[in-house]
Amino acid sequence: MPPINIEARQQSLASMGFPSGTTITAEFTGYAGFVGGCLRTYDQEVQPKDMIMTALNRVHSRSASDVRSGAGSGNPEDILEWGIRLYKGYRPSSSPSRRITAQAFSCIASLYNNKSRLPNQTLQIDDLRRAAEAANTAAGLGYTTPTALSIAMYIGNLNHLDSVGGPARNVWETAYFSELIELRRVYERRKREVEREDRTRERRVERAPGEFRCAAVGCGIEATRRGRLG
């Protein structure tokens, strides 16, 4: 985040009618802007001072502990408010760890991944992209969840047919997904792991084929590990 010019902010607040010397934190500025941009309809004209006062009233009317308690009890308004405060950093607690942040993005990825699968095996590509972006962020934080891995492998196994009749190509090569470097690394790493596992299994089968194949005449079933066909 770029450095904040407190002097400029004081002048800006003074021009809105606030007492000279009034300051607000960067977190509150972000919170006020988010509330003003997301919790009203576009045709409701609101002056900057009114937007700040609305945000101040929201903060002071409900303490963080009250909002968190209400969210925990299932109050929809408090669930929304607590989510906004956490998202914009306006809260008394410390910032979440990389693990918690990655887990949160993985939850977002799961939500959009589920939305992307429409009936009749139809794929909603925009929601898949949103899922992939969230999974990419989680992977970039060094915490690859099963959800992120599943999305990475799904994309890696998709092919895109060029609209002008060209040859099919992997979806990773399209502009829509080519920037998701961290998620692609997850795919490629897991692909290498699977290839190593397959080579290891093949060597084991070569050394002792009878231990991996059903003994029944004409069965033909093979196991991936010893003891699975008992």
Lowest mean pLDDT among 29-38, 127-136, 145-154, 199-208: 199-208
Instruction: Look up tokens 């006062």; give the residue.
Output: 53
Nearest to 108 by CA among 67, 145, 80: 145
Answer left, alpha or beta for residue 225, where phi above 0 means left and psi between -120 and 50 means alpha. Answer: beta
The sign one gets for the Cα dihedral 189, 193, 194, 196 is positive
More confident residue, 55 or 10: 55
Identify the pLDDT of residue 124.
87
Residue 4 reports pLDDT greater than 50:
no
Residue with more model confidence, 99 or 50: 99
CA distance 45 to 175: 38
Average pLDDT of the chain to the nearest whole number: 78
Name which residue leads in pLDDT, 70 or 34: 70
Confidence of residue 14 (pLDDT cuts 50, 70, 90): low
Q: Using pLDDT thresholds of 50, 70 and 90, give the confidence band for residue 216.
A: low
Task: Using the predicted structure, report yes or no on whether residue 195 has a pLDDT greater than 80.
Answer: yes
Say what the pLDDT of residue 107 is: 92
**Res. 190: pLDDT tops 70:** yes
Give the C-alpha separation, 81 to 86, whole Å: 9
